[in-house]
Amino acid sequence: MNIITIIQARMGSTRLPGKVMLDLCGKTVLARVVERVQRSRRAGDVVVATTTQPADDRVLEECMRLGAKVFRGSESDVLDRYYRAAKQSAADAIVRICSDCPLIDPEIVDRTIQSFLDEHADYASNALERAYPRGLDTEIMTWDALERCWREARAFYQRSHVTPYIHENPRQFKIVRVRSEEDYSDCRWTLDTPEDLKFIRAIHDRMEDKERFSWRDVLQVLEEEPELAELNQHILQKALQEG
């Protein structure tokens, strides 16, 4: 099975513009995401899917510097961007990662992919019934499931967020929910605001090995310094309909 991982990335974030190119302990946020995903054993080829907007030339340049594959497509129709990137790669299954997850963990990526394979699923996710911290989100779907979404999804939010059509039509897809053994759903490790950036930089500052620390290392830091979570705990996640 040809599994590929597509990381969506663009400069045009509304709450933290240009966040993918911000510095995170000597590397860009995008570099941190790409390199962490590349350490997954099951993620296959990693493709960064950005837009054709001139501002995203910087994303292209960073991908070239990293030696990462890149695809450019629609800015607003992210579903179409994923579909065309996957088609170009002749993918049988597609892992979806967002570039606002610089703490993404290869172990969790692998666990989600393995659950998908073991259950012969159409779609698997560790975020449908959230127990992992927000910011470790991993989704994987078959090519057929992605193509069906691309063909049938009509609402703007269904196309800008790629997979809501699957979530909203569970009878049409075999869906697997991947959960952690403990509930960490109150943890916010994603990057969407300046407060999130302060939190994620604080975490990186405390890691001796800034390349290979795990999500459990982050939990250990937060156990020792629980006040760090207060940096961004008050931030509300945008609703799907907000784009």
The pLDDT tens digits for 28-63 are 999 999 999 999 999 999 999 999 999 999 999 999
C-alpha angle 183-184-190 in degrees, rounded to nearest 5: 150
Question: Domains of the chain, with CATH numbers?
Answer: 3-242 (3.90.550.10)
The pLDDT tens digits for 170-212 are 999 999 999 999 999 999 999 999 999 999 999 999 999 999 9
Query: What average pLDDT does range 154-178 have in this prediction?
Result: 96
**Cα distance between residue 185 and residue 163, in whole Å:** 20
DSSP 2: -
**Cα distance between residue 153 and residue 164, in whole Å:** 9
- pLDDT at position 243, please? 47
Strands 3-8 and 45-51: parallel
In the chain, the percentage of residues whose pLDDT exceeds 90 is 94
Per-residue pLDDT for 239 more than 60?
no
Determine phi and psi for 149, rounding to 5 degrees: -60, -50
> Which amino acid is present at 35?
E
Determine phi and psi for 194, rounding to 5 degrees: -60, -35
